[in-house]
């Protein structure tokens, strides 16, 4: 279940406030008494009798926000004109767009980027397929693919509801690495169908980033794609998390003066991320590692037909047979 952190919901209250010293003081006191945190006050319009201000308030949750709004609405001399959620405002119209790298200013520009000039580029790629990495966006483009079955802490919410998360991940690719990424939300939960769809769209991408696909299906999908595609395939929930955990463990062990092969590691949660963390820690040098999930400890040598990855863990972890 998704958990809202205190202050993570920010509301913008557009208020008409009567021009009297005591009114704004009463407003601030009411917001504070309701548990809200005034984060900004902006003047929108000033008049003789009243002013219109945007008051940004941090609250713990949408329900908490409703209580703050009710407290403000009850004040004499204050009229609530509108309430906006800053997060929803940021998502209006989506968070990403496609922009051309070359401006089309005249007929000559058009003839180069499109017909007839583009035909010669197509022919060059047809004659030498490797040139697709030089002459198209492929080399710097990643597909962020999900089926919406394991989105953040929300679970199986479907492909359409997963789109805002995929847009956000694409923004991170561009902001931090300069990589162009496109969200691909698939309306199917069939692993083989997902694999086939990704294979069919792969010519337009230089890499595939799998995102928020439920376990254990994600293992099968990634394994097949890695075998059957000629471009990199990365499951973010597995390997992105694993890299961060390994980095944190290495730094922590430096502080206490120990090495990876000297410590006993217990990992709670053997889903997609947990399995990837275990695999990376083992490859990095951890020797004594025990995995724990809702069924308890992953037992050495036991077969787990419901989850083949747990069977793999049973063969490679828990050396003491706990």
Among the listed residues 131, 138, 169, 220, the single catalytic one is 169
- Structure tokens given for 138: 């492929």
Q: Which residues pair with 272 in a beta bridge?
A: none
Q: CA dihedral in degrees (164, 168, 173, 174; nearest 10)?
A: 100
Which residue, among 275, 262, 267, has the nearest Cα to 311 in the 3D structure? 275
Give CA angle at 79 (40, 83), nearest 5°.
Answer: 55
Separation between Cα atoms, residue 143 and residue 89, nearest integer Å: 26
Q: Is 114 a catalytic residue?
A: yes
- Check: CB of residue 150 under 8 Å from CB of residue 188: no
- Check: CB of residue 144 under 8 Å from CB of residue 95: no
Cα-to-chain-centroid distance, residue 106: 40
Separation between Cα atoms, residue 122 and residue 135, nearest integer Å: 9
Beta strands, E only, 128-287:
141-146, 180-185, 207-210, 233-235, 264-268
Q: Is 169 a catalytic residue?
A: yes
Among the listed residues 114, 254, 258, 264, the single catalytic one is 114
- Check: CB of residue 53 under 8 Å from CB of residue 15: yes
Q: Among all residues, which ones are annotated catalytic? A: 114, 169
């Amino acid at each position: 279940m998704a958990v809202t952190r205190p202050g993570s919901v920010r509301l913008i209250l557009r208020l008409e406030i009567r021009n009297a010293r005591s009114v704004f003081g009463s407003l601030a006191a009411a917001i504070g008494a309701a548990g809200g945190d005034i984060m900004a006050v902006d003047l929108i319009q000033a008049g003789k009798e009243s002013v219109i201000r945007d008051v940004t308030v941090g609250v713990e949750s949408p329900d908490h926000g409703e209580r703050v709004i009710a407290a403000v609405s009850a004040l004499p001399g204050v009229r609530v004109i509108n309430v906006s959620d800053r997060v929803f405002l940021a998502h209006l119209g989506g968070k990403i767009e496609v922009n051309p790298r070359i401006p089309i200013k005249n007929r000559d520009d058009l003839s180069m980027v499109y017909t007839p000039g583009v035909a010669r580029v197509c022919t060059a790629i047809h004659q030498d397929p490797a040139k697709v990495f030089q002459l198209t966006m492929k080399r710097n483009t990643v597909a962020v693919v999900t089926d919406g079955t394991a989105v953040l802490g929300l679970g199986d919410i479907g492909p359409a509801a997963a789109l805002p998360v995929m847009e956000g991940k694409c923004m991170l690719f561009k902001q931090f690495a300069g990589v162009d990424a496109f969200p691909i939300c698939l309306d199917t939960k069939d692993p083989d169908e997902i694999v086939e769809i990704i294979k069919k769209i792969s010519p337009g991408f230089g890499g595939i980033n799998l995102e928020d696909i439920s376990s254990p299906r994600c293992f099968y999908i990634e394994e097949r794609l890695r075998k059957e595609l000629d471009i990199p395939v990365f499951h973010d929930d597995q390997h992105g998390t694993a890299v961060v955990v390994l980095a944190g463990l290495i730094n922590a062990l430096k502080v206490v003066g120990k090495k990876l092969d000297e410590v006993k590691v217990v990992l709670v949660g053997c889903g997609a991320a947990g399995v990837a963390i275990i695999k990376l820690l083992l490859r990095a040098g951890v020797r004594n590692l025990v995995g724990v999930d809702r069924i308890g400890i992953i037992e050495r040598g036991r077969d787990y037909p419901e989850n083949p990855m747990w069977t793999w863990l049973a063969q490679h972890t828990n050396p003491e047979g706990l």
